[in-house]
């Protein structure tokens, strides 16, 4: 059954691919996007890659009037609007907190007034901090933060308090949050606020913790752009990619097409409600 779906931040990298997926399935899509210059350039024009069948409303998610206007006639919401990027969050603290925390709060207050059938909110792998490890004794332990002294001594691998080596393992959703940046903190705030309000007001809500998303439409000017795009840009300019430490660090990557599919499934699957995935 066709739905009318609002995507906040829908003119961005991930949002535009979600728009494509939902339109292809016969849904109507409305996009609320501030078209911030860092991502979209100084002219704030509708990006050429955004499907012409998507309705674009230019507005800031912190603007209650813009949000209420965008929610009119909407069945479900994908909340992707956010200030993104770990490094930048550490010196633009007020900006990240305003967009991510206050913006989400404004949306949630509007949803209390006008509930929807489903809310999907974009969270981040950054909430995990270091992943899980297995000790030589076979115990699962959270990766300890490396000290400045360890890094200066080129001791790259996390170790137990006794100095024993740790082996990395896949990290499940049950790992406690370890918030090592303002960005991570705000993404955790976004998911928790959404799940709390969703439960309190009967709005089925799903939080998806994206890992490093890659694919077409990534802009090098966007702080979210991951290492794959940085490597590609260097290779295209006949420069070798820069790899820090010992090169043995591990990181998960996920195609933007798979992320769009995951959001579609989260919207359509009743059992996903109330979960962090």
**Which residues are annotated as catalytic?**
183
CA-wise closest residue to 256 among 27, 21, 50: 21
Cα radius of gyration rounded to whole Å, the chain: 20
Report the phi/psi class of residue 138: left, alpha or beta, with left for phi > 0 and alpha for psi in -120 to 50.
left
Contact at 8 Å (CB) between 140 and 133?
yes
Report the distance separating Cα 243 and Cα 155, nearest Å: 16
Report the distance separating Cα 60 and Cα 8, nearest Å: 9
Residues whose CB is less than 8 angstroms from the CB of residue 201 and which lie 6 or more positions away in sequence, other chains included: 111, 112, 115
Residues whose CB is less than 8 angstroms from the CB of residue 196 and which lie 6 or more positions away in sequence, other chains included: none
Assign 3-class secondary structure to 7-30.
Answer: EECCCCHHHHHHHHHHHHCCCEEE
Contact at 8 Å (CB) between 46 and 10?
no
Report the distance separating Cα 255 and Cα 243, nearest Å: 22
Give the H or E element holding residue 6: strand 4-8
Contact at 8 Å (CB) between 125 and 211?
yes
């Amino acid at each position: 059954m066709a739905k009318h779906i609002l995507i906040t931040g829908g003119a961005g990298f991930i949002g535009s691919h979600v728009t494509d997926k939902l339109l292809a399935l016969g849904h109507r899509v409305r996009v609320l996007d501030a078209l911030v210059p860092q991502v979209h350039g100084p002219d704030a024009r509708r990006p050429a890659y955004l499907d012409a069948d998507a309705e674009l409303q230019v507005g800031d998610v912190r603007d209650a009037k813009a949000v209420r206007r965008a929610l009119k006639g909407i069945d479900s919401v994908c909340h992707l609007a956010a200030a993104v990027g770990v490094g930048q969050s550490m010196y633009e603290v007020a900006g990240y907190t305003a967009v991510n925390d206050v913006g989400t709060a404004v949306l949630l207050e509007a949803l209390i007034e006008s509930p929807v059938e489903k809310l999907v909110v974009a969270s981040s792998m950054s909430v995990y901090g270091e992943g899980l490890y297995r000790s030589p004794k076979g115990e699962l332990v959270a990766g300890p933060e490396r000290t400045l002294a360890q890094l200066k001594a080129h001791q790259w691998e996390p170790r137990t308090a006794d100095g024993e080596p740790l082996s990395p393992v896949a990290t499940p959703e049950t790992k406690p949050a370890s918030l090592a940046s303002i960005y991570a903190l705000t993404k955790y705030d976004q998911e928790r606020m959404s799940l709390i309000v969703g439960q309190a007001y009967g709005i089925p809500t799903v939080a998806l913790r994206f890992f490093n998303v890659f694919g077409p439409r990534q802009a090098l000017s966007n702080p979210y752009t991951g290492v794959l795009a940085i490597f590609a840009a260097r290779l295209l300019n006949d420069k070798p990619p820069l790899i820090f430490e010992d090169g043995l660090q591990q990181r998960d990557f996920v195609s933007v097409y798979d992320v769009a599919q995951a959001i579609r499934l989260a919207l359509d699957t009743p059992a996903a409600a109330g979960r962090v995935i």
